[in-house]
Structure 1
Amino acid sequence: MANTQNGVAAVDEMLPAGKLFLYGLQHVLAMYAGAVAVPLIIAAAAGLTQTQTAFLINADLFTCGIATLLQTLGIWKIGIKIPVIQGVTFAAVTPMVIMAQEGGMTLIFGSVIVAGLFTFLAAPFFSKLIRFFPPVVTGSIITIIGISLLPVGINWAGGGVGNKAFGSLTFIFIAAVVLVTILLLNKLFTGFISHIAVLLGLIVGLIVAIPFGLVDFSGVSAAPWLGIDIPFHFGVPKFDIGSIIAMILVMLVVMVESTGDFLAIGEIVGKKIGEEELTAGLRADGLATALGGILNAFPYTAFAQNVGLVGLTGVRSRFVVAVSGVILVVMGLFPKLATIIASLPNAVLGGAGIAMFGIVAGSGIKTLAKVDFDRNVNNIFIVAISIGIGLIPTLVPTFFQNFPSWSQTIMHSGITLGSITAIILNAFFNGSKGAGNLDELKANAGMRE
């Protein structure tokens, strides 16, 4: 584990207040678009008014912040205490849209509360699967996460999905400016400047986008100054067995995805993620999800979008992301701040997204470098097949369209498909201990580097 000069692990380092704020704001800017996308989709499906939609977004941001604080700071045996930011899982979108149309928001919140409690209680049992995640599996999963996220960044760079001018030279130019700025700052500077390269890149992109008429601050004046998240704002939750089962299935998928994200961040920050740490992290996912149902929000999970930012900046302190949590809470309480952040054009986010998501894939490749492919040739099959299957939903989204409706939550999650495939193939070829770590093989053979 990397240590600071004072002998404190980098993940536990407390930085000066100014740096904490800037690094934390950088994380918020990187995840904001994904954080508000789900409430917008659900609000449209439920037929909510503009005022109700704004309330839903603020409730989501507020709960994102609470969930992030739970994970980064920890309470008792809840929270993994690494720099992981929490956001709404997209795995829950399809079932929540159906619930919104059939029973309204209260049906969603009832199933979310129960599914969150299920996740909290199941965490110690699910975490025992950690032994099925040797480097050949974790490396494959982290690589899949990065490659699966790249289309998100590319779509942002093109102007955003559904934009009539998608792919215009203006959008691509702005995204390129942001990306080149980030690269130049990392090339020319070290220390603090390189650590906030993404933030500075976004600011430069925002300035460049203004003359093109792509930045609209008109919504700021219309947004209220204060917005309080009142529990059960939409009414008493409804508890339906079918909806609860659907949401529990979603949370099983979330636990697999969160495990991959936790392991990815653990690799980047130099912290070993064992059964105890994984249990604490999954408990926080469950508790945050249950709170989400109470606070008019949704299921929460580790946001893969921000994994790459940790690797890109090299800032490993969990307190940085804890500050991100505070910023999200404040944004949830003061809608005007949230509206300012929302004014960032998609193209600006795209330039940063391509860099961050590529870093995630690169981290996966780095992990795979620990795997011995010479003594154990079967490892190449584990990597090749798991990545191949994991990318099916990304490359050909309609591939599984004829599968049963109950399976669509899993089939549309490339991370889950790839994870399950890697685990099964590793167990088949290497057994439950998952032989294949180059360092361990050398140690067993009495070899030294």
Structure 2
Amino acid sequence: MAMAGLGTEAQLKDPDYFPPLAKAAPLGVQHVLSMFVSNVTPAIIVAGAAGFGFGTPGVGELVYMIQMSMLFAGVATLLQTIGIGPVGARLPIVQGTSFAFLPVMIPLVAGKGVEAMAVVTGGVLAGGLFHAVLGLFIGRLRFALPPLVTGLVVLMIGLALVKVGIQYAAGGVPAIGTEEYGSAQNWFVALVVILVTLGLKFFTHGIWSLGAVLAGLVAGYVVAFAFGMVSFANVGRAGWFMIPEPFHFGVDFTVSAVLGFCLMGVISAIETVGDVSGICKGGAGREAETREITGATFADGFGSAIAGVFGALPNTSFSQNVGLIAITGVMSRHVVTLGALFLILCGLVPKVGAVISTVPIEVLGGGVIVMFGMVCASGVSMLADVDWDRRAMVIFGVSLSVGLGLQLEPGALQHLPETPRILLTSGLLPAAGLAIVLNLLLPSPLTEDQTEEISGGLAGRAHD
């Protein structure tokens, strides 16, 4: 048993079991801390891409986005743990702001300021509703998404974001071209975060290992404070309570945003299916039920749509939660409900968001270098389950080449209209689309004899 005194083994595997409050509350907060940094990071990245946030007059809008990230991650988590009718898996699923949508959001807002957030709001709202509809037939989509496709998608998400981590560690996008960009001080602060994170992750156990990224950020923050890189001016001006504002940034429905968010909703839905399966297997030793997968997908979509109404970004289930449940052995959904209430409380207090906004961009850069690297590694891990015959290599190679190539050289599509250009230069969508289509259309692998006849033994030896 992972933690003594919580209950019998049968109780720990029961999602409806409520452990003693004195033990359930710390476990709930632990769930929140394991995803806290990842939850607020997308808002910071989108704001930075748009040109407001750290060190700009628009820092107040960034604080609002951080608050909404926490608030609606908590609301979406409650949809999962408590549920409303068919909505919600009623399992210990933690929801949070999704990294997967960043390759779509960044081109939509790049350099366009706060005004561009209206387009994002429209995309989140439409995409969330579409995502919810997927719950009606999510089980039928799984055949088209084997590990070859899902692994490539996760890898592409990581590859699309690694540049952001390096830019942040060097001083942030606004600093590009200045003398301060890439300075030794900036890199030293980022390296402190990376080294402390890795040290705690691999040389400690328990809460220290689980909270390694958060502890690394705290260490980097302390060093940055010593260098005079931290300002608390915005904390004093922030209020103690905030009511979320519907359509805070306005709303604008564009074809590129709606299509992009709907297409990424399919990927996010499949990710949620994997997380639900992992939680049931790791926490209860059983397969996920159809109603749990369907309910989780409904909650994913409706949670994102509700978040979009208030200017927040799309939500998805957080994979960190899967590993944490396997470690603690506690399957209680009520534990995660307590964590969700803590998130909602933080989201209603602007002081919390203001404090988070004081974190220097270089500190965050060290953290996201680790996080985005782990996203890439997760994709590679999924690809390890693939039988790498000639067919799989062609599907992977062509999809990766086209997707990553268009992302690295967006000017190659400069003559296309805006909507297809934004979707295709995201990198992720063309790679995922090609992989799905090729996987469905290309014939099954050749037999060994057929391969030998065609390639003279080269393919066979390469495969071996």
TM-score by length of structure 1 reads: 0.76
Matched, 1:170 2:182: no
For 1:340, give the aligned amino acid. V
Displacement of 1:36 in angstroms is 4.2
SS class of match (1:398): helix
Deviations 1:164-197 (A, max 9, x none): 4221111111111111112222232222321121
- Which residues in structure 2 correspond to 1:280-299 (within 5 Å)? 280-294=295-309, 296-298=310-312
Cα contact 1:227–1:334 (8 A) shared by 2: yes
Q: Given that residues 262 and 273 in structure 1 are in contact (C-alpha distance below 8 angstroms), is that contact kept between their aligned partners in structure 2?
A: no
Distance 2:86 2:379 in 1: 28
Q: Secondary structure at the match of 1:85?
A: strand
Partner of 1:444: none
Distance 1:26 1:345, change over 3 A: farther
1:141 to 138, 143, 153: 153
Q: Secondary structure at the match of 1:370?
A: coil
1:255 to 261, 265, 272: 265
SS of the residue corresponding to residue 243 of structure 2 reads: coil
Inter-CA distance 157–277: structure 2 relative to 1 (3 Å threshold): farther
- Between the aligned partners of 1:9 and 1:300, the Cα distance in structure 2 is 30
Q: Any conservation in 2 of the 1:64–1:87 contact (CA below 8 Å)?
A: no
- Partners of 1:175 and 1:10 lie apart in 2 by 42
After superposition, give the CA deviation of every residue in 1:22-68 in whole Å (9 maximum; x if it has no partner).
44134222332322454677797xxx988777556644543343234
Pair 1:85 & 2:96 matched: yes
What amino acid is aligned across from residue 96 of structure 2 in structure 1? I
Match of 1:221 among 215, 236, 254: 236
Aligned to 2:224: 209
The equivalent position to 2:71 in structure 1, one of 39, 56, 62, is 62
**Residues 12 and 399 of structure 1: is their aligned pair in 2 closer, same or farther, counting only changes over 3 Å?**
farther
Q: Which residue in 1 is equivalent to 2:39?
A: 31
Partner in structure 1 of residue 196 of structure 2? 181
Q: What percentage of aligned pairs have identical amino acids?
A: 29
Q: CA separation of 1:197/1:351 partners in 2, compared to 1, >3 Å: closer, same or farther?
A: same
Structure 2 counterpart of 1:368, from 362, 371, 383: 383
Evaluate the alpha carbon distance shift between residue 258 and residue 159 of structure 1 in structure 2; reply closer, same or farther with a 3 A threshold: same
Equivalent residue for 1:155? 167
Aligned partner of residue 199 in structure 1, secondary structure: helix
Taking the aligned partners of 1:324 and 1:412, their CA distance within structure 2 comes to 38
Q: Which digits, 9 at most, give the CA deviation of each residue in 1:124-181, with x for residues without a partner? A: 2465221111122222222222222322222222222122422111111111111111
Q: Measure, in 1, the Cα distance between the counterparts of 2:109 and 2:223.
A: 38
Map of 1:399-410 to 2, 5 A cutoff? 399-410=412-423
- After superposition, the Cα gap between the structure-2 partners of 1:180 and 1:96, relative to the gap in structure 1 and judged at 3 Å, is closer
Q: CA deviation at 1:219?
A: 1.0
* TM-superposed deviation, 1:210: 0.9
Aligned to 1:412: 425
- Aligned partners of 2:67 and 2:346 also within 8 Å: yes
| Partner SS for 2:192 | helix
How has the CA–CA distance of structure 1 residues 22 and 275 changed in structure 2, closer, same or farther, with 3 Å as cutoff?
Answer: closer
1:338 Cα shift? 1.0
* Count of aligned pairs: 418
Q: Distance in 2 between matches of 1:312 and 1:17?
A: 15
CA contact (8 A) 2:241 2:349 kept: yes
Aligned partners of 1:25, 1:231: CA distance in 2, in Å?
28
After TM superposition, give the deviation of residue 76 of structure 1 in Å: 3.7
* Structure 1 unpaired stretches of 5+: 436-449
Output the CA distance in 2 between the equivalents of 1:409 and 1:279. 31
CA contact (8 A) 1:120 1:283 kept: yes
Is 26-35 or 118-127 further displaced after alignment? Answer: 118-127
* Residues 394/350 of structure 1: CA separation in 2 closer, same or farther (3 Å cut): farther
- The answer to which of 31-40 and 181-190 deviates more is 31-40
Pair 1:6-2:9 in alignment: yes
Residue range with higher mean Cα deviation, 380-389 or 306-315: 306-315
1:391-413, CA deviations, whole angstroms, 9 ceiling, x for partnerless residues?
23543343433322221342133
Deviation digits for residues 330-365 of structure 1 (CA, Å, limit 9, x no counterpart): 233110111111211222222222222222222222
Paired residue type of 1:400: L
Choose the corresponding residue for 1:422, options 419, 435, 438. 435
Check the 8 A contact 1:42/1:100 in 2, yes or no.
yes
Q: Is the Cα–Cα contact under 8 Å of residues 165 and 368 in structure 2 kept in the other structure?
A: yes
- Structure 1 residue 222: deviation in Å? 0.7
Residue 323 (structure 1) shift: 5.8
Judged with a 3 Å threshold, the aligned counterparts in structure 2 of structure 1 residues 36 and 273 are, in CA distance, closer, same or farther, namely farther
The residue that corresponds to 2:461 in the other structure is none
1:290-309 paired onto structure 2 within 5 Å: 290-294=305-309, 296-298=310-312, 300-302=314-316, 307=319
Contact 1:220 1:340 in 2 (8 A): yes
**Alignment correspondent of 1:438:** none
- Cα deviation per residue 1:82-114 (whole Å; 9 max; x = unaligned)? 444235944356667999869x95x87677655
- Contact 2:160/2:427, CA 8 A, preserved across alignment: yes
One-letter code of the match for 1:262?
T
Residue 387 of structure 2 aligns to a residue in which SS? Answer: coil
Question: Contact (CA 8 Å) 1:308, 1:358: kept in 2 or not?
Answer: no
| 394 and 17 in structure 1: CA distance in 2 versus 1, 3 angstrom threshold | farther
8 Å contact 1:257–1:416 — kept in the other structure?
A: no
Deviations 1:361-397 (A, max 9, x none): 2222222222222xx3211222222222332354334
Confirm or deny: 8 A CA contact 2:43 2:65 kept in the other structure.
Answer: no
Runs of 5+ consecutive residues of structure 2 not aligned to the other structure: 447-464
AA aligned to 1:429 is L
Does residue 129 in structure 1 map to residue 138 in structure 2?
no
**For structure 1, which segment, 253-262 or 155-164, has the greater mean C-alpha deviation from structure 2 after superposition?**
253-262
Residue 312 of structure 1: how far off its partner (Å): 10
User: Larger Rg: 1 or 2?
Assistant: 2
Following the alignment from structure 2 to structure 1, what is the Cα–Cα distance between the partners of residues 373 and 434?
22
SS of the equivalent of 2:356 reads: helix
- Structure 1 residues 192-201 or 245-254, which shifts more? 245-254
